[in-house]
Structure 1
């Protein structure tokens, strides 16, 4: 029952806009209700089929710190003429709600095999969302670029195109890692198909930041394969760029413009971001504790000509709204996400192609999420980040379970403890008078598999 509900959450949360639901309660949407049901079932499920040792979760500290800063930011914001109290409450609720999915999936009571299945299901659902975006892109046509004809998949109208592109770009490295490094043929074939779908979906979102994120992620991945592979891929990309759809080339070309004097400058979108970021810094200088959660659009008109605009940078947004402590909590959170990938790698021996693929793919995915929030602010977009938070919990659980399994399978001790065990075996009376010699036989050998602590 719990496993099916977890799988259903992975399937439905990114597709929540496709589900018609009205609870009749302000602020309660389908995602919230599904989370509540999942949490209740998890709490009343018996046992721990995964046999996970009690160990503090990697993201517990930074998430609690970030939640505290969100609440403080909510209190600092106070009432505003531009939003009612329910809007502010819903904002802080959503900012806290979706990261809680990490805790649910980190402690989901599933064994290693089912945890692996849920990870792969998350990647599969991302690929299905990409297929929907590709279908939308084909329906719009591949001719000239039109702002109102940008694919978004299951994430809403064209205003969500940039964030939809971020979603596809963040999951591309994990499937690409399986395609490149996993040794199972069927896994590699399916991963390649998923990569093609995600890459095509990114193109049809016409999100230039997603183009950059995807290219950097794939380049870093291929560099882990070999420098020659990365160079070859770069050469092939340059050689085939002219074969891309005309609309994609037009969109990329819009990044620069030539003024009346012939000088090449960046487009208005890029230029506005630079001014917004500078305005965010000035905003923090005048308000070191932050202007309050959700108040960046309210204040930015005082520091730039773009009144009512978003920061288009989650780090700048948090810095301006929650102050330096809020930014530090956010950076701490990303650092701990990075450590989860190191946990997976530390419990995956060189012959474990799957563990290596997932560890490397997730590391680049964390990098992609961080980079996406430099040129946008998808961090607070629940539909985009829900799958990522679930993946964080599943990846950490995967690492802890593998460590526990390795500890159970640890061979008999050797090395420096071996002489003592030999003495205990050959002289039983000595072992009785010196119990420590007998205990030594049950200790794990030095240099053996890592413990469950990673």
Structure 2
């Protein structure tokens, strides 16, 4: 079990930092992340000892994920040949689309007890905070006096083109730390989480990702509204009051969203307007291909409906999935999101009254799911392994945490007499019967000498 625990921890640390690990397997399509996953899966399958409750509920995401995998497979086979992608690239795309969600199953059934599951959840958010430190270091080295498109912090996620993806990653994990900082009753834990929140907020600012700014703000406001409406209003006032203290480069980036043309009319920037035109082209694409154009074929066909955007991404995961896999594909994704949301409700119910840790994790995860869903509205990181691997891991760990919490609470509850012995209800109704017929009440009800 110790070996398995260390491998799980290694996966949590290395998957978001895969670009820092140079390991060539020599096998096309098999990178370091895939190799680590295969090793972890083999150890998990051959591990005999289990800390899981004997009778546990079925996994929340199991059914929607399996259906989604089937739709991905169908989309792969219906996709025609493309001049933009080789057959190997097609297979790799399908493999990546399926591979990272499988991490949910691995960590949902990872055979760790409650203490170690809690430690692994902690490690996920620590890794996110450390990645934020790297992004802050990059941003400060670039300077914060003026916004430059090619000088955006990304942390361990690659070059400046990945800045929006990096911002989404930090914005997704901010609510987990913030929820613990606000609702957990352990002072040392709260202080550590506040520091983590500041690091993530700094990294978000220096990615200059406007969608991440919005996601982070909405997530924090929703969190504070669970505390009290007054707290959310106070935070909003403080935010407005501190805008003038933000770095000039951040203010400049936000102001680019709204432009004024030569006639004095307000318009949106090119990034926003191009998305609207791409989405309109995607709608036309879907109308001509209701079953979808096939997995990975959006970039191939978008030029037929929006010629100036040939080869461009959809910049919206739901639009992308709808155009490539059809209506059923996006409906399954919504089903998946709803089941993710139900994990937080499950953990909340599994945590007994007064369990501040359990309630904080449930709320933090709920807002993390909301942030992930929102991040795919103005971008499409859903298939991006570097960004989503930690999220899928967190899904599995938080659900496992809830299962173990529920089992611990059940174990502490007294077992009803009716569950221990068939005639126990009769004995409870007629206590003198146990004295006249000692065996009637079962072994636990024999008269004491």
Q: How does 1:104-115 map to 2 (within 5 A)?
A: 104-115=106-117
1:316 aligns with 2:316: no
2:339 aligned residue: 336
**Secondary structure of the equivalent of 1:238?**
helix
Structure 2 unaligned spans of 5+: none
Q: How does 1:375-454 map to 2 (within 5 A)?
A: 375-411=378-414, 413=416, 422-428=428-434
Deviation at 1:419, TM superposition (A): 7.9
Q: Work out which of the residue numbers 207, 213, 220 in structure 2 matches 1:205.
A: 207
Q: How does 1:4-403 map to 2 (within 5 A)?
A: 4-51=6-53, 53-304=55-306, 305-403=308-406
**Secondary structure of the equivalent of 1:218?**
helix
**Secondary structure of the equivalent of 1:265?**
strand
Contact 1:424–1:431, Cα closer than 8 Å, also in 2: no
Deviation at 1:350, TM superposition (A): 2.7
Structure 1 unaligned spans of 5+: 442-454
Report the aligned-residue RMSD. Answer: 2.0
Deviation at 1:54, TM superposition (A): 4.0
In the superposition, the TM-score normalised over structure 2's length comes to 0.94
Deviation at 1:366, TM superposition (A): 0.2
- 2:437, 2:264 → 1: CA distance? 89
- 2:208, 2:29 → 1: CA distance? 32
Contact 2:299–2:311, Cα closer than 8 Å, also in 1: yes
- 1:430, 1:318 → 2: CA distance? 72
In the superposition, the TM-score normalised over structure 1's length comes to 0.93
Deviation at 1:426, TM superposition (A): 3.0
- 1:52, 1:206 → 2: CA distance? 48
**Secondary structure of the equivalent of 1:109?**
coil
Contact 2:9–2:123, Cα closer than 8 Å, also in 1: yes
> CA 1:424–1:219 in 2, change beyond 3 Å: closer, same or farther?
same
Deviation at 1:424, TM superposition (A): 4.9
- 2:405, 2:430 → 1: CA distance? 32
**Secondary structure of the equivalent of 2:267?**
strand
Deviation at 1:430, TM superposition (A): 8.0
Contact 1:50–1:112, Cα closer than 8 Å, also in 2: no
Contact 1:51–1:111, Cα closer than 8 Å, also in 2: no
Contact 1:105–1:394, Cα closer than 8 Å, also in 2: yes
Deviation at 1:431, TM superposition (A): 7.3
Deviation at 1:244, TM superposition (A): 0.2
- 1:424, 1:41 → 2: CA distance? 55
Deviation at 1:277, TM superposition (A): 1.3
